[in-house]
Amino acid sequence: MNDKWAKLGFASRAIHAGSEPDPVHGGVNPSIELSSTYAQPYPGSLASCYDYSRCGNPTVMALQRNLASMEGAKYALAMANGMSATITALSLLK
């Protein structure tokens, strides 16, 4: 869990953890990212850590940080659909 949120109670973490004020516009809640794809200088070269929305986007990252904080975990995963979650869970088994 992020040390910044560790000292807060569960309700405070549920509301605040995972979101930081937008450095450009100052919004205090994470915006909903509607883009499905992200610009790349050329195929296979990422301009940021995002390439396709199902693989992750700023909204999903905020959700994952929030869930991890509420669970007292270092990381959390959010999947695009149930099949992704099932395959991920099964791939962790021996």
Q: How many domains does the chain have?
A: 1
Name the amino acid, one letter, at 35: S
| Whole-angstrom distance, CA of residue 3 vs CA of residue 69 | 9
Instruction: Give the range among 8-17, 19-28, 61-70 with minimum mean pLDDT.
Output: 19-28
Q: Is the pTM of this model over 0.75?
A: no
What Å distances lie between residue 88 and 17, 59, 66, 80, CA to CA?
A: 25, 20, 20, 12
Q: With beta carbons less than 8 A apart as the criterion, state whether 59 and 68 touch.
A: no
In a 3-state reduction of DSSP, which class is residue 45?
Answer: strand
Domain encompassing residue 38 = 3-91
pLDDT at 69 over 90: no
Per DSSP, what are the bridge partners of residue 52? 37
Q: What is the pLDDT of residues 23-63, one digit of tens each?
A: 777 777 777 777 777 777 887 777 777 776 667 778 888 88
